[in-house]
Amino acid sequence: MKSIADLGVMLAATMLLAGCGSVDGKRDGGPVSGPTPAPVASGVTDGPPKLGAPFTVAGTTYTPADIADYDDVGYASWYGEELAGQPTAIGEPFNPDGISAAHKTLPLPSYVEVTALDTGRTIVVRVNDRGPMTNDRLIDLSRGAAQQLGLNGGIAAVRVRRTSPPMAERAQLRSGGIVAERLATPDALLVLLRKKLEGKPVPAGVATPTASKPTPSAPAPGGDRFIVEGPGAKAPKPAAAKPTPAKPTPPAAKPTPAATGSYAVQVAAFSSQSRANAAAKSVGGSVVEAGNLWRVRMGPYASEAEAASAAAKAKAKGFRDAQVQRDR
């Protein structure tokens, strides 16, 4: 019969064995620091942020750092199927359709707001990889993040600002989902952000967004935002022609619509004409004025099926509230 002392020794040995775990496939001894967080559906969790050692890209050395108020402007590229399933810098499988990114110095993982400097649209992205491995780009977005931001043309100017989203949004991003866009950046702030691009390396073939002064009608900071139209909204009538000003602004590109058709797609409405023009150009639509708003529409289309297909294309470009309407 074992003594109480013997039982105590056996219990202590059992506790020491329980302290051994596995890190990156290798045995790792030592006491457990705490309970393992419950994984989300994808098996991806937010562990302690990692920095990693400094590294050099084409003669420039980057030193990862934990900067809580990180805020910078530069150029974004994006990547997709070519790395699908490959491990990121922190060992997670890359999901092209997730909302993730690679950054040279931010902790992994961390969360950032990425703003497109040509449209002002802002999304929340989870940073889980190192890159881009080129000196003329600030961040590399996944295909899903690029599509949500409306960057389908390769490289674009962006603002990257570190943020701390709610736990529910973090879990959504970890599982490969999308969280709601932030309020669009006001025109006045976009002008300042575009000015900050001066002196930054510009990728070949990329035009820097024009840092022009806002028009007198530009709203105050915080006053301009993306407006979702309800399903009962009626299609607006084009506004009557106005006298040509001394310095006319370039009109929105208006593709030739179908000769006939009773269906159209209501893409979005904006309180800024310049923002509406940019959205219309990205979807091949047109802009009509309705009171204090500028509405973006696609069509007309001869059938509901054609209109539904056009709405799907608009949603794929990030306009997730695009909806088919029938003109009566």
The pLDDT tens digits of the residues spanning 222-259 come to 333 334 333 344 444 444 555 555 555 555 545 444 44
Give the CATH fold of the 55-196 domain.
Answer: Barwin-like endoglucanases (2.40.40)
- Is the pLDDT at 164 greater than 90, yes or no? yes
Q: What is the rounded distance in angstroms from the CA atom of residue 179 to the CA atom of residue 114?
A: 13
Q: What is the rounded distance in angstroms from the CA atom of residue 189 to the CA atom of residue 220?
A: 9
| Mean pLDDT lowest among 23-27, 117-121, 142-146, 178-182 | 23-27
Q: What is the rounded distance in angstroms from the CA atom of residue 161 to the CA atom of residue 189?
A: 14
Helices of type H across 160-244: 167-174, 187-196
Smallest CA-to-CA distance from 151 within 311, 320, 316, 323 is with 316
* Residue 203 token pair: 């990728």
Q: What is the rounded distance in angstroms from the CA atom of residue 191 to the CA atom of residue 84?
A: 36
Equal fold, 55-196 vs 226-241+250-326: no
Range 226-241+250-326 has CATH code 3.30.70.1070: yes
Q: What is the rounded distance in angstroms from the CA atom of residue 269 to the CA atom of residue 255?
A: 18
The dihedral through the CA atoms of 6, 12, 18, 23 has a sign that is negative
Model pTM score: 0.54
Q: What is the rounded distance in angstroms from the CA atom of residue 250 to the CA atom of residue 232?
A: 31
Long-range contacts of 46-55 (CB under 8 A, 24+ apart): 46/109, 46/170, 46/174, 47/90, 49/107, 49/108, 49/109, 49/110, 50/89, 50/90, 50/107, 50/108, 51/107, 51/108, 52/89, 52/108, 52/130, 55/130
Residues 6+ apart with CB under 8 A from 49: 66, 107, 108, 109, 110
Residues 6+ apart with CB under 8 A from 65: 51, 105
Smallest CA-to-CA distance from 133 within 94, 104, 106 is with 104
- Is the pLDDT at 14 greater than 50, yes or no? no
Q: Spell out the domain ranges in the chain.
A: 55-196, 226-241+250-326
**Cβ–Cβ < 8 Å for 229, 297:** no
Which pLDDT tens digit goes with each residue over 263-297?
Answer: 888 888 777 788 788 888 888 899 988 766 778 88
Q: State residue 246's pLDDT score.
A: 56
